[in-house]
Homo-oligomer: A and B are copies of this chain.
Amino acid sequence: MASTVAPHQKQFIEEFGNLYAAYGLKRLNGLLIGLLLSSEGPLSLDEISTVLNRSKGLISDATRRLNVLGYIKKIEGPESRKDYYTADADIFINVFHFNMQTVRKNLEIADRFQHELERQPKKDAGRWKTNLSVMNAFYKQMSDFYDGFEDLWNKKKKEL
């Protein structure tokens, strides 16, 4: 497998890095995922390390984490005892699940503090109360929407 990469693949990888960075995630994770998405076959640690120009230890750590998150997959190398990595087919939905968690967390917080304020009614918390119910309504709707989204995607995926 080539340890270097064509110009527009390089560009794609960079875009992914930037995307992840802009999103607050680790730039390196973006680079890694961009690389695996645009590579024909699975890549070894050393290959990734060379292309991305990072030390082996760092890549070892990054791949392990991304593997746990379900963003990339470890492949048993056929011949040697090398590990090979490839982008998980469900990577997009898995990243989406991460977002979903945040939405659920928002909803949970709104709920919790709404109950808190009811249980122990404070004067001068009118604004807070109002904000909590808007927050609750918003993330409830979003949560429902996300469920709908996932159902639809699962159907569409079968067609592809």
Footprint of B on A, CB under 8 Å? 6, 8-9, 12, 15-16, 19, 22-25, 37-41, 87, 89, 92-93, 96, 99, 102, 105-106, 109, 113, 116, 120, 122, 124-128, 131-135, 137-139, 141-142, 145, 148-149, 152-153, 156, 160
Contacts and interface: CB of A to CB of B under 8 A. Distances in A.
* Copies of this chain assembled into the complex: 2
A128 B38 contact: yes
Contact of A137 (B6, B133, B137, B156): B156
6 contacts: A37-B128, A38-B125, A38-B128, A137-B160, A141-B152, A145-B152
Contacts of A149: 141-142, 145
